[in-house]
Amino acid sequence: MLEALNRIQAIVGNAGVVTDPVRAHSMLVDERRHYEGRAAAIIQPRTTRELAAAVRVCFDAGIAMVPQGGNTGYCGGATPDESGAQVLFSLSRMNRIRDIDVRGSILTADAGVVLAAAQSAVAVHDLPLPLSMGSQGSCQLGGNVATNAGGLAVLRYGTARELVAGLEVVLPDGRVLSDLKGLRKDNTGYDLRQLFVGAEGTLGIISAVVLRLYPMPRAWATAWLALRDIGDAVELLVSLKSRLGDCITSFEYISREALDLVLGSIPETRSPLNTSDSNYALIELAAFDDGAALTEEFERTLADGVAAGLVGDAVIARNEGQRRAFWRLRESIPEAEKRAGGSIKHDVSIAAGALGDFANEAIIATLEQFPRARLSVYGHVGDGNVHFNVLAPDPLAADDFKRDNARSVSSLIHRMACERGGSFSAEHGVGKLKRGILAELGDRVALELMRQIKATLDPKGLMNPGKVI
């Protein structure tokens, strides 16, 4: 081991090895503080060449490797185990924008570029990268691709997978698979790139990405509205889609309890509507003209929604400040839950038609078992994906509540979602946290194929072992 580590240090130099104990500790604990690992070394290469050479040393010496991006993932996938025998590869120093092809509308960047930095780099060319989420100030493009991240505009632009036009990947034996041409069409054999999207670092380390960019909308229409429940939200979405098509970029649901958590703990927030007994939706449309016609049709559709009893009340943002304020309410929910002691998180998806019934039945079933629990239900209803989070009755006893009940609450919610043909992990992945659930609830044949693919690409089982499968 020592000889291998010395060779790696010679490859990446002193600056490429993290020795500061405070920094190291922050990289060895996961975002949700579920896991704390140890590492034989934390390596931060600067280039693909350095990364590949260091991986090769690990492969030859039989050392297990854990890739890490911004360490914002929710499933413990970027945390090494407790043995102290694994090497953690942090991509943070591989943070170069390689190219912005304005004519081709693609960005090529090192995998360690932080999502917010990538957004700023392309925004000056009026070509937004339509991937956004609450963690964008820390998460990295490589981590976004490795988790197939979703976020707030999936309805219009898809998940990270749909944005990927190319990848460069360091394979577990140190070979580099380079697919950075960014071609729209290329039917030359298997689409290997897709294997690494959502693989959570179990098949190789993504060292660079090519991402699709989109034209900058000229105007937005953003509404905050009150409605009864998720079922009505789905009905409204169906009518919006039929009248406004793919102008709808986001359709987010926010339960009253989730909003109350935000209003109670995030400074300078206030409810856009004076209703206290309903739930809410945040809807955004984008236009490529001045947006006047779109806003008119949006208002008419919402008025029809009111007449049909689907919408209680609605307000459309009058300016950019109000638009930002609506989004701040939605984006602050994870932070507000944290301030309330944290939640037992669930991230389920179900066919649109079944989503409303699932949510109502899950609320009843959870409160039957945990009558005093607080629920925070919200999320990407436009994508069939809700975060059904369960909080302790008392924030001061949150750790005990989560420890004692996480297993039974989650088993209930996951089973209810799967029995209705849904998924127990719509966007946050599997990592270490949901590996057991995947083994229990996953399709047999799919699991067999995943193991075969893993064995082919990583025959020694060195790349992020103990995660996903």
By the criterion CB under 6 A, which residues form the site for ligand FAD? Answer: 31, 66-74, 77-78, 91, 111, 133-135, 139-140, 142-144, 146-147, 149-151, 200-201, 205-206, 334, 427-428, 431, 464, 467
Which residues lie below 8 Å from residue 252, measured CB to CB, with a gap of 6+? Answer: 152, 281, 282, 283, 330, 378, 379, 380, 381, 382
Question: Which of the choices ligand MLT, ligand FAD, none does residue 147 contact, using the CB cut-off of 5 to 8 A by kind?
Answer: ligand FAD
Residue 334 interacts with ligand MLT (CB under 6 A)?
A: yes
3-state SS, residue 53:
helix
Q: Choose, by CB under 6 A, the member of 345, 374, 414, 435 that binds ligand MLT.
A: 345
Instruction: Please name which of 201, 107, 72, 65 lies closest in space to residue 145, comparing C-alpha atoms.
Output: 201
Q: Which two tokens stand for residue 416?
A: 């209810």
- Supply the DSSP string of 66-131, one letter for each residue: EEESSS--SSSTTS--TTS-PEEEE-TT---EEEEETTTTEEEEETTSBHHHHHHHHHTTT-----
Shortest Cβ 345–ligand MLT spacing (Å): 5
In the complex, the smallest distance separating the C-beta of residue 427 from ligand MLT, rounded to whole angstroms, is: 6
C-beta of 247 vs 329, nearer to ligand MLT:
329
Interaction partner, residue 149 (ligand FAD, ligand MLT, none; CB < 5-8 Å by kind): ligand FAD
Structure tokens at 403: 């420890």
Nearest residue to the partner ligand FAD, using Cβ:
143
Cross-strand pairs, 37:
none
Q: Does 387 bind ligand MLT (CB under 6 A)?
A: yes
Report, in Å, the least distance between residue 152 CB and ligand MLT: 7
76 scored as a contact of ligand MLT (CB under 6 A): no
**Is there binding between residue 305 and ligand MLT (CB under 6 A)?**
no
Closest approach, Cβ 1 to ligand FAD, in A, equals 21
345 binds, among ligand MLT, ligand FAD, none (CB under 5 to 8 A by kind): ligand MLT
402 binds ligand MLT (CB under 6 A): no
Least separation in angstroms between residue 348's CB and ligand MLT is: 12
The rounded distance, in Å, linking the Cα atoms of 370 and 274 is 30
- Bridge pairing between strands 279-287 and 219-227: antiparallel
Distance between CA atoms of 186 and 85, rounded to whole angstroms? 41
